[in-house]
Amino acid sequence: MLRHVTPLALLLAAMPLSPAPAPGRWVDVPGLRMYCEVQGEGRPLVLLHGGGSTAQTSFGAILPRLARHRRVIAPEQQGHGHTPDADRPLSFEQMADDTAALLERLGVRGADVLGYSNGGVVALHLARRHPALVRRLVLASSYFERSAMPPDFWRGFDTARLDDMPAPLRQAHLAAGRGAGELEAMFAKTVAMMRGFRDLPEEALRALPGPALVMVGDRDVMSVEHAARMARLLPGGRLAVFPGAPHGTYLAAAEGARPGSPLPDLALTMIEAFLDEP
C-alpha cells in the first residue's frame, strides 16, 4: 500500500465531501479564532479531525449518529477548514492547547475525546497537558512513536507536494473559504510538523487519565503491533482491530467510503458501548 500512495496522502486521506455541514460557531482562543461544530445534547464528546482535514471530512458520516445521545463538539484546528491560520508554526502541542482553550470557553470539562489519525496525537497531548478536561480517550488509527510507521513513510515528507493531498480535502478547504495560498501554507506547516515529530515517552502514556480505546485497521498506515503496544501502555487500554480496513475506513474517513461496508456501524457500536460503560 505504501508503494502506491504517498505517505502524506495516507495520513490526509478522507471520504468525499458531505452535504452542507451543520451551522458552526467561532470561538476566540488565545491567538486564534477557532471554528467548531456543535450538535446534540448530553455528555460532551470532542472529535479531533485528521491531518489536513476538517470536521466534516473526518467525521461527517458518523457525527450526526454520535450526536443522538451526546453533545458532540468538533473543532477545526489552526489553518484547517474554516479556522484561519495564525502567525506561528503548527504543532500537536499547540493544537492541544487551542482545543483546551476552546473547551474552557464552552464550559466543558471531563469530556470524552475521539481523535482520528493526527487528531489522536492531539488527543494524547490534550490528555497529558490538560487532564481535567478529559474523561475517556478513543484513539482511531493514531500513533505515539515514529516506529508506528516504516522509515519510507517518514522519508516521504522530504519530497511531499500539495498534489499528494487528496482532491476532496483540497476542495473542502477551498469550499470553507480558504484561498489557494492558505491551503499551501497549511500543507507546508503540516509537512514541517511531521518532519519534526518526536515520540511521546512511554511513561507519559502510562500517566494519562483512562480508560482508553485504541482502534486500528489491519491494513492501516500504522502497524497493528504499535496499536496493541499503545493499548497496553494506556491505563485501562482496550484494542479493536478491524479486518480488511485501510486507514480510517471503519470511520468512513479513509481513501474513500465503501458503500455497504458493515465496519462503520460496528465501530460506532463499539465506541458508544465503550463511552457508556460505568
Give pLDDT tens digits for 77-132. 999 999 999 999 999 999 999 999 999 999 999 999 999 999 999 999 999 999 99
Q: For residues 1 and 178, what is the distance between their CA atoms, to the nearest angstrom?
A: 31
What pairs with residue 137 in β-bridges? 113, 212
Place of cell 491505563: 235
Ordered structural domains, the chain, with CATH: 7-276 (3.40.50.1820)
User: Average pLDDT in the 196-213 region?
Assistant: 96
pLDDT at residue number 16: 36
Place of cell 469530556: 111
Q: Tens digits of per-residue pLDDT, 221-264?
A: 999 999 999 999 999 999 999 999 999 899 998 445 667 889 99
C-beta of residue 67 within 8 angstroms of C-beta of residue 38: no
pLDDT at residue number 23: 61
Q: Is the pLDDT of residue 199 over 90?
A: yes
pLDDT at residue number 24: 86
Least confident segment among 60-64, 71-75, 144-148, 231-235: 60-64
Length of the chain: 278
Q: For residues 267 and 263, what is the distance between their CA atoms, to the nearest angstrom?
A: 6
What average pLDDT does the chain have?
90
Q: Tens digits of per-residue pLDDT, 174-190?
A: 888 888 899 999 999 99
Q: Tens digits of per-residue pLDDT, 264-277?
A: 999 999 999 999 99
Cβ–Cβ contacts within 10 Å for residue 22, how many?
Answer: 15
State percent of the chain over pLDDT 70.
Answer: 90
User: Average pLDDT in the 213-227 region?
Assistant: 96
Q: Is the pLDDT of residue 17 over 60?
A: no
pLDDT at residue number 215: 98
Q: For residues 193 and 248, what is the distance between their CA atoms, to the nearest angstrom?
A: 21
pLDDT at residue number 256: 52
